[in-house]
Amino acid sequence: ADSRVYRASTTAPVNIAVIKYWGKRDAKLNLPTNSSLSVTLAQSDLKAHTTASCSQAFSDDDSLILNGEPSPLTTPRSQACLARLRALRKILEDRDNSLPKLSQWPLRIVSINNFPTAAGLASSAAGFAALIRAIANLYELPQSPTELSAIARQGSGSACRSLFGGYVAWDAGTAADGNDSVAVEVAPASHWPEMRALVVVASAEKKGVPSTAGMQQTAATSTLFPLRVEKLVPARMIAMKEAIAKKDFATFADLTMQDSNSFHAVCLDTVPPIFYMNETSRAAVRLVEAINERVGRNVAAYTFDAGPNAVVYYLAENEGQVAGVFKSLLGDKDGWAGDRGTQVQEAPIEG
């Protein structure tokens, strides 16, 4: 018997959508009702670090240690990801008999993604992306990041976008099996190296309504949702790709803020209404508005996911006017503090 332990490690970054994914046309396969587009953040403490190992000598079942705690790998979503990765490995083993039969052996996964200062920020995206990439590396799979994104998508929709750095689109696709619902690179980070992001942690609490439940409720009850899915988002996807190609920050900012507000508007339009933003979030919106007003053009753009924390995009040349103002205002103002205090973090864009 082979007693060797095979191992591979990787990291995956957090991505924050500027055109939001909200709504599933197939809940089992995590197929979205609309395409989305994100920017990948490169901050070192906003990454998931994952090691995957397997050995014929492991006698236990597949296992996951997440931030030091045993965690279930038995959820249908995790199971779907593992089954697909094993099937791809099996193809290689069937083709080449000399390969160790890794697909048959238990997996041990160890992952650290305890984003200390930014809880509630897309942890599942980085976590599933790192899980998929670590196992793909362990299995020496030849699949491209786009092909792997279709697997990561089944773990958590937004995870498919964390397989790339820079500017990433997730094409909704039309195929029933989800084969064309994948992430593709729109532009590498080096295309627009001046882009920066800062994270305003309004609350480190876990979000109130989980994204899957929120999406279901929105699709079932929001009257505004069809307009968003059919008209607004498709037009914004085209305009956003153009703004990125031209490095047109003012348009990038307009679209980012409009789409965040549109997403939170359909959440408010559900029965019962869902509130992800809080008073601190709204203060961050007003601050960005005030900064842009003072400069006379858009130099900052806010966006909010399914929680109250803001991500503010800006260009390096406007660092002082944006990050500087946020820091000086938030640093010493008690009224801004959430349960762990409001914090501001700058994050370069991942390459």
Query: Which residues of the chain form contacts with ligand PMV (CB under 6 A)?
Result: 17, 20-22, 36, 124-125, 156-158, 211-212, 305-306
Q: How far is the CB of 333 from ligand PMV (least distance, A)?
A: 27
How many Cβ atoms sit within 10 Å of the Cβ of residue 41?
28
Instruction: For the CB of residue 298, give the shortest distance to ligand PMV in the complex, in Å.
Output: 21
- Compute the distance between CA of residue 222 and CA of residue 219 in angstroms, rounded to an integer: 6
Amino acid at 279: E
By beta-carbon proximity to ligand PMV, the closer residue of 139 and 263 is 263
For residue 101, the minimal CB distance to ligand PMV (Å) is 33
**How many other C-beta atoms can be found within 10 angstroms of the C-beta atom of residue 230?**
12
CB 146 to ligand PMV: min, Å:
17
The least CB distance from residue 128 to ligand PMV, in Å, is 8
Smallest gap from Cβ 20 to ligand PMV, in A, equals 4
Six-digit token string for 72: 């279930």
Tell me the CB-side half-sphere exposure of residue 197, using CA atoms within 13 A: 29
Nearer of residues 305 and 350 to ligand PMV, judged by Cβ: 305
Antiparallel, parallel or unpaired: β 107-112 and 63-66: parallel
- Residue of 155, 11, 1, 30 whose CA lies nearest to 83: 155
Closer residue to ligand PMV, CB minimum distance, 142 or 210: 210
Residue with smaller CB distance to ligand PMV, 73 or 160: 160
Nearest alpha carbon to residue 314 among 269, 253, 266? 253
Beta bridge partners of 201: 343
Q: Between residues 50 and 309, which has the closer beta carbon with respect to ligand PMV? A: 309
Cα 140 from Cα 148, distance rounded (Å): 12
Nearer Cβ to ligand PMV (24/89): 24
Q: Are 202 and 192 a contacting pair, CB within 8 Å? A: no
